Structure 1
Amino acid sequence: MSENTPEEHENSEAACAPQGSDSPERPESPQPTALFVRRERRMNLGGWVVLALVIGAASGLVWGMFRGVFEFAPLVIAALYGVLFVGVGLALVAVIIDWVLERARAK
């Protein structure tokens, strides 16, 4: 197991650099830095879709337990039905709302 040390990195750069008098040397210049700041604390579309699917799975589990099913396989199937019928519908609503808000923000 080898570690990356700064000395090894400098040696590998020196080995890869062309050896000759015609290679231009670049002066050390500071690299540009980008800083991104989140101004708003709201979930993005992916977060809403995942939340909708989780709500669908939870509703399927609750529905399955109210039906008197407490075995593992039928509860998983009930959770998948909840994701399919409830979660996908909620995710579609979230996508439509996000699309409308983005369209209004663009105008």
Structure 2
Amino acid sequence: MSAVHKDPRHARALAEVRSRGEVQPCWSCGKELLASARKPDPKAITVGHYVDVDLGLTDPYDPANYGPQCASCNYSGGAHRTNAKRRGETGRELTTSPDWT
């Protein structure tokens, strides 16, 4: 568990996300989540960051940067980034789509 998750502001962020409504969609996959559900219930809400906190580009407790996310999406994203760091990858290369030209 990272320092971000141990900070009391994380618990407040989770409470704030849950207060947005009883039924909310995961912002990644659209799965229905319930504010009253608690882990390990697959419908439990976790705090998912739109811009990765790991990148250091944003305040992890800025409400504009987080929303409801299912544990599966949230944890798989974190695992992907951690594994990339272990392989020495610094980040994804951005490419331009041919559709953009």
TM-score (norm 2): 0.27
Considering fraction of residues, name the structure with more strand. 2
Q: Which has the higher contact order (CA 8 A, sep 6+)?
A: 1
Considering fraction of residues, name the structure with more helix. 1
Decide which structure has the larger Cα Rg and report it: 1
TM-score (norm 1): 0.26
